[in-house]
Amino acid sequence: MGRGKVELKLIDDKLRRQVTFSKRRSGLIKKARELSVLCGVEVGLVIFSAKGRLYEFCSGESLGKLLERYQMHSEEENGASKNAGGTDKKHNAECSDLSAGANLSLKMSQSGMEAQDLDHLDVPELTQLEKELDALLRQTRSRKTQLMMENLTALIETEKQLKEEKRLIENEIAALKLKEQAEQGLSCRRGTGSAEHFLR
């Protein structure tokens, strides 16, 4: 006997809603993965929970690259359209909102996770969550290292500029001293010559 049709409406009970979300989310990600493998297509999936947590799936290298490809594809299509301007802005806004929302939710997920949410996750979901956090941690460390290297490069360049400016100033001071000494020597020779002429 088949299951009855499920009425699509918001589940009032918060606990049931969380359990249903967890199960359906896992099922949706599983279907997206199967679609990618069976049909050889690129699939990107973005889910925001009611608490703002991000869940994502991407069959390619990263969701960011897939969004960039979507944006480029949209721009190419809009270039051939009469209404390219308005539609292009719409697609760009969509991609920007997705990227901004993803970054914000990742930060929220990293900064604090509620034990109530974790209690309803099974082992595969916790394993997937652990992988996502590890990937986020690696990305954070990589970005931190990149910024530190950029700062170090900037400091080295600033040091070179200061040394060059110091060298130029020292050369100018040395040139001024030589000029001053030459003028003083010329003045002394003129004074000596005048005295000898007077004595004669």
Residue range 45-88, pLDDT digits in tens: 888 888 888 888 888 877 888 888 888 877 777 665 555 455 55
Dist. CA 146–CA 160, nearest whole Å = 21
70 part of a folded domain: yes
The range of the structural domain enclosing residue 113 comes to 14-121
Q: What is the pLDDT of residue 168?
A: 93
For the cut 60, the answer to whether the pLDDT of residue 43 exceeds it is yes
Number of domains in the chain: 1
- CATH number of the domain at 84, please: 3.40.1810.10
Q: Is residue 1 part of a domain?
A: no
Q: With respect to residue 40, please indicate whether it lies within any of the assigned structural domains.
A: yes
Per-residue pLDDT, 167? 92
CA distance 21 to 109: 17
Assess whether pLDDT exceeds 70 at residue 6: no
- Please provide the average confidence, as pLDDT, over all residues in the chain: 75
**pTM of the full predicted structure?**
0.39
Q: Does residue 181 form part of some domain?
A: no
Q: Which residue, 169, 173, 193, 192, is CA-closest to 181?
A: 173
24 lies in some domain: yes
For CA atoms 137, 139, 142, 146, the dihedral sign is negative
Asked whether residue 26 is domain-assigned, the answer is: yes
Q: pLDDT tens digit string along 105-153?
A: 555 454 444 444 566 677 887 788 788 888 888 888 888 888 888 888 8
The answer to whether position 85 is within a domain reads yes
Is residue 134 a part of any domain in this protein?
A: no
d(CA 44, CA 58): 5
